[in-house]
Amino acid sequence: MNKIVNQVLKNFLDENKRIKLPNWCKKVRIDVGTSINAPNSEYWLSTDNELCVFAFEPNPFNVKHLKTGEKIWPIHLDPQRIGNSFFIVECALFKGEPRFSDFYCTEGDSGTSSIFKPSYFDVKELVRVPTISLKDFFDLFDWTKVEYIEHLKIDAQSSDFDIVQGSGSYLSEKVLYLTVECTTNNQYMNQENPEKMKGYIESLGFYCDHWGQNGRFLNTNFKNLWNNIEYKFLEPD
């Protein structure tokens, strides 16, 4: 196993080097970019006692807020879920080989932090964070226990398309619903191409049910499940 992948995921692996799931867990969702309150994770977990969420968050300030449970926003993660049904993977996601990357922790709303340099947000601190791909995570997932991911939500401040591409074939084969942030409107020093991202996701067999600030995609390879599993996502105000 790659050293960086092992460093990031070692606390989540069982004796067979597979991602550990509680015995009671029957469903998994993934929250990429939690900010300080992980509202979507709380929304998911508060309505389903058979669900586990794996959350990827590289900003150490956001992780600290999640663990202390400071009530900055009305919907926020119950910190008692951490280590039980909510598992924080402290790393950035991207495409390509595992590595360490610069990560810009922003002042004010730390949910605007990014692997890309902000165009106008003030930077609180530049940190080095381990960076892996979703494929690295999925390669170690025990698909004999949970056959597919119900929902992959990505809100990664201009990194969404790179994270999508870093999922490999697992995205089309193992993910039922996908939510991405369509654009950050030039908030970062990165040339975004929203329509290219949309076209790429659709080419993998996803139906685009909504395209605005966020994109909502349903996997046609799992069309038989659309009426049985609810798409749940907290739309921004």
Evaluate whether residue 25 is within a structural domain.
yes
3-state secondary structure of 176: strand
Evaluate whether residue 177 is within a structural domain.
yes
pLDDT in tens, 48-71: 999 999 999 999 999 999 998 776
pLDDT at 15: 94
Q: Is the pLDDT of residue 72 over 90?
A: no
DSSP 3-state percent helix, strand, coil across the chain (nearest 5): 25, 30, 45
pLDDT in tens, 214-226: 999 999 999 999 9
pTM exceeds 0.75 for this model: yes
Question: Cβ(161)–Cβ(196) under 8 Å?
Answer: yes
pLDDT at 112: 86
Tokens for 7, please give them: 């460093």
Evaluate whether residue 12 is within a structural domain.
yes
Which residue range is the domain that position 139 belongs to? 3-100+130-225
pLDDT in tens, 121-180: 889 999 999 999 999 999 999 999 999 999 999 999 999 999 999 999 999 999 999 999
Please report, for the domain that includes residue 74, its CATH number. 3.40.50.150
Evaluate whether residue 28 is within a structural domain.
yes
Evaluate whether residue 110 is within a structural domain.
no
Domain count, the chain: 1
Evaluate whether residue 233 is within a structural domain.
no
Evaluate whether residue 55 is within a structural domain.
yes
Evaluate whether residue 121 is within a structural domain.
no
- Fill in the amino acid letter for 137: F
pLDDT at 198: 98
Q: Is the pLDDT of residue 12 over 60?
A: yes
CB atoms near residue 131 (< 10 Å): 25
